Amino acid sequence: MVNFGYSNCKLTILLAHGMKIGDKHYRSLWLEEGETPQIRYIDQAVLPFRFETGTLHTPEDALLAITEMKVRGAPLIGAVAAGGIFLAAYRSAGKNHQETTVRKWAGKLKQARPTAVNLRVMVDRMADHVLNAFSPESPEERARKEYMKILEGETEACRMIGLHGLEILRDLHRKTGRTVNILTHCNAGWLACIDYGTATAPIYLAHERNIPVHVWVDETRPRNQGARLTAWELQQAGIPHTVITDNAGGHLMQKGCVDVVLVGSDCTTRNGDVANKIGTYLKALAARDNGIPFYVALPVSSIDREMENGVRNIPVEERSGEEVRLIEGLDGENLVRVSILSEEHPVSNPGFDVTPARLVTALITERGVCEATEGGIASLFTDP
């Protein structure tokens, strides 16, 4: 464990190799091979106050890491759940219950969180390779190879999202000749995505290429992923940023302080509707009212083409009311939760909202930038 104060940690982002912490480069998730393979992750539940890594030995560990929010963010929970299937196959190697074990865990992991579609996609992909592929290799070896492909594929997707999104930021800079002010919500950074991030990837690349950027970071109540994770990431990369309350964005847009809104997505439907962290929709409305472009960055693994209409069909996770009643922070050395609301009040805590496609300027994917329409999305899946 590396333990550091909020302001004096020595981290730098090296995009080709993940985040550098001390002498070591990190991704948010990695496989440690060896006699007993294990999966390691950065524990997001204690950031930015402590830097700790955790280990997944079993599919139960993968499930718990997801449900306890030690890992979060759509691409990452997909990769952790896929890792759960790898561990299920590995741990039951040579046993006659291997198939039922893998099926059981596929069912459980897919239900860990309901909104992020690539959790289901990655679990199905892994289970299919373990159970249905014709190959002389053992099921666990097939699982290992597919898992490595998923980790590398998701990382490469984010790098490509960065390159496509970079052109948008470059154009904005060319037009105005000054710092590009970006507003983002929640954490769609490298922590949420193994490496690079989705919404943050273009920002990191722009910064690397000396395009001046400044990021307005929504704190993102109730869990504060913006204040705790995005701000931390940006700080380590030396990117100018300012944390704001979730309600400040509209005001800043009216005052001309925001050039572009850039967010991630947990699920994008065939018609281009986008589910993301609760509060994203309000930012899209304010952006439209102020003539500010609103882009969504996402890997194609988070597009659900079976689902026709996001506003109507995407399942929105209802999370515990404790997240509304309590707020977590540092008291001296200790991470504590304090109550901000009397127990008597009923609370409601939807984790996500859906931004209708008509408010989305464009989708930035690893396959290119497209309109948030059925045709635009279909074009991502047809050969040029």
The site map against ligand MRU for 69-88 (x = CB under 6 A) is ---xxxx-------------
CA 318 – CA 320 distance, rounded (Å) = 7
CB-nearer residue toward ligand MRU: 76 or 130: 76
3-state secondary structure of 254: helix
Residues 190 to 229 in contact with ligand MRU, rule: CB under 6 A: 192-193, 198, 225
Residue 259 annotated among the catalytic residues of the structure: no
Instruction: Establish if 310 lies at the interface with ligand MRU (CB under 6 A).
Output: no
Which of 170, 186, 150, 384 is closest to 283 using CA atoms?
Answer: 186
**DSSP class per residue in 226-250:** IIIIIHHHHHHHT--EEEE-TTSHH
The site map against ligand MRU for 157-196 (x = CB under 6 A) is -----------------------------x-x---xx---
Residue 196 dihedral angles phi and psi, to the nearest 5°: 70, -45
**DSSP class per residue in 264-281:** --SEEETT--EEEETTHH
Shortest distance in whole angstroms from residue 192 CB to ligand MRU: 4
CB-nearer residue toward ligand MRU: 86 or 352: 352
Instruction: Establish if 48 lies at the interface with ligand MRU (CB under 6 A).
Output: no
Query: How do 260-263 and 267-269 pair as beta strands?
Result: unpaired
Shortest distance in whole angstroms from residue 48 CB to ligand MRU: 15
The site map against ligand MRU for 123-152 (x = CB under 6 A) is ------------------------------
Shortest distance in whole angstroms from residue 111 CB to ligand MRU: 15
Instruction: Give the residue ranges of DSSP H helices in the chain.
Output: 59-67, 74-91, 98-110, 117-131, 139-176, 201-208, 225, 231-237, 249-254, 280-289, 310-313, 322-325, 374-380
- Environment class of residue 332 by beta-carbon count within 10 Å: exposed (0-12), middle (13-18) or buried (19+)? exposed
Residue 326 to residues 63, 320, 329, 338, 340, Cα–Cα distance (Å): 24, 11, 10, 5, 6
CB-nearer residue toward ligand MRU: 75 or 83: 75
Q: Spot the catalytic one: 61, 218, 266, 353.
A: 266
CB-nearer residue toward ligand MRU: 240 or 350: 350
Shortest distance in whole angstroms from residue 74 CB to ligand MRU: 4
**DSSP class per residue in 180-215:** EEEEE-S--SGGGTSSS-SSSHHHHHHHHTT--EEE
CB-nearer residue toward ligand MRU: 127 or 188: 188
For ligand MRU, the binding residue among 125, 129, 277, 283 (CB under 6 A) is: 277
CB-nearer residue toward ligand MRU: 147 or 196: 196
Shortest distance in whole angstroms from residue 248 CB to ligand MRU: 18
Q: Which residues contact 210 (CB under 8 A, 6 or more apart)?
A: none
User: Over the Cα atoms of the chain, what is R_g?
Assistant: 20
- Environment class of residue 26 by beta-carbon count within 10 Å: exposed (0-12), middle (13-18) or buried (19+)? buried
The site for ligand MRU, by CB under 6 A, has a size of 16
CA 279 – CA 244 distance, rounded (Å) = 13
CB-nearer residue toward ligand MRU: 30 or 196: 196
CA-CA-CA-CA torsion for 304, 75, 181, 172, nearest 10 degrees?
-60
Instruction: Establish if 264 lies at the interface with ligand MRU (CB under 6 A).
Output: yes
Shortest distance in whole angstroms from residue 189 CB to ligand MRU: 7
For ligand MRU, the binding residue among 153, 249, 351, 376 (CB under 6 A) is: 351
| Positions marked catalytic | 266
Residues forming contacts to ligand MRU in the complex (CB under 6 A) are 72-75, 186, 188, 192-193, 198, 225, 264-266, 276-277, 351
